[in-house]
């Protein structure tokens, strides 16, 4: 079902970068969620949501796997006999089995390499831009909650102007490798 203005119900009205990714996200290979889960479970038992959160934290917010990728990986690991699930209150908590501890010990470097591969595949400028976008989204949400008609109108105009300026950056961009003739003015943005 769709929410207001054509966005998914419950989705962000400010673009949904978490839902669809921001620009070029990390390069995550097949099996990386599996490897990350094993590495985290080597540090101690966790439930699925904790694994999702910790992958995000350990990758500096660069890699935020969805439940749709984490839970199937956990099921596969359980089917392989590398982890076991235990019901604790309302959550399934996952533990390494003896076979899982052996597997992790034999592949410790391989499993640790997952974090480096993911974080090295993302440009720092993109991460900074994503963080700024999220800060702007938070500021807009505050204006929407606390602002009156005048503040909402001012915020709307600011966002319209910002959107135009962002597109102008692309429109004014010169092709890669071209140089501006000496003395030529830089376009005003």
pLDDT in tens, 24-41: 445 555 568 999 999 999
Q: Give the architecture (CATH level 2) of 29-122.
A: Orthogonal Bundle (1.10)
Q: What percent of the chain has pLDDT over 90?
A: 47
Q: What are residue 123's phi and psi, to 5 degrees?
A: -70, 135
For residue 169, the model assigns a pLDDT of 85
pTM for the model stands at: 0.56
pLDDT (tens digit per residue) in 93-111: 999 999 999 999 999 888 8
For residue 32, the model assigns a pLDDT of 85
Question: What pairs with residue 163 in β-bridges?
Answer: none
Higher pLDDT, 72 or 119: 72
Which of these, 127, 131, 133, 136, lies nearest to 62 by C-alpha position?
127
**Does the structure show a pLDDT above 60 at 185?**
no
Asked if residues 24 and 17 have their Cβ atoms less than 8 Å apart, the reply is: no
Domain boundaries, the chain: 29-122, 125-172
pLDDT (tens digit per residue) in 107-126: 988 888 877 776 676 667 77
Q: Give the C-alpha separation, 50 to 57, whole Å.
A: 10
Residues in the chain: 189
C-alpha to C-alpha distances, 134 to 24, 46, 63, 131, nearest whole angstrom: 16, 28, 15, 5
**Does the structure show a pLDDT above 60 at 42?**
yes
| Residue 63 burial by Cβ neighbours in a 10 Å radius (0-12, 13-18, 19+) | buried
Tokens of 152: 């909402």
């Amino acid at each position: 079902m769709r929410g207001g203005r054509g966005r998914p119900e419950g989705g962000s009205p400010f673009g949904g970068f978490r839902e669809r990714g921001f620009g070029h996200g990390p390069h995550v290979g097949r099996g990386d969620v599996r490897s990350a889960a094993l590495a985290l479970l080597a540090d101690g038992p966790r439930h699925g949501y904790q694994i999702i959160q910790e992958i995000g934290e350990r990758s500096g917010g660069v890699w935020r796997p969805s439940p749709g990728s984490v839970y199937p990986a956990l099921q596969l690991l359980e089917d392989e006999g590398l982890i076991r699930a235990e019901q604790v209150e309302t959550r399934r908590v996952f533990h390494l089995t003896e076979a899982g501890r052996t597997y992790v010990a034999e592949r410790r470097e391989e499993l640790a390499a997952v974090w480096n591969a993911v974080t090295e595949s993302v440009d720092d400028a993109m991460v900074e831009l994503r963080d700024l976008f999220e800060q702007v989204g938070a500021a807009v949400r505050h204006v929407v909650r606390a602002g009156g008609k005048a503040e909402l109108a001012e915020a709307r105009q600011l966002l319209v102007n910002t959107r135009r300026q962002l597109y102008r950056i692309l429109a004014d961009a010169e092709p890669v490798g071209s140089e501006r003739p000496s003395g030529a003015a830089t376009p005003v943005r």
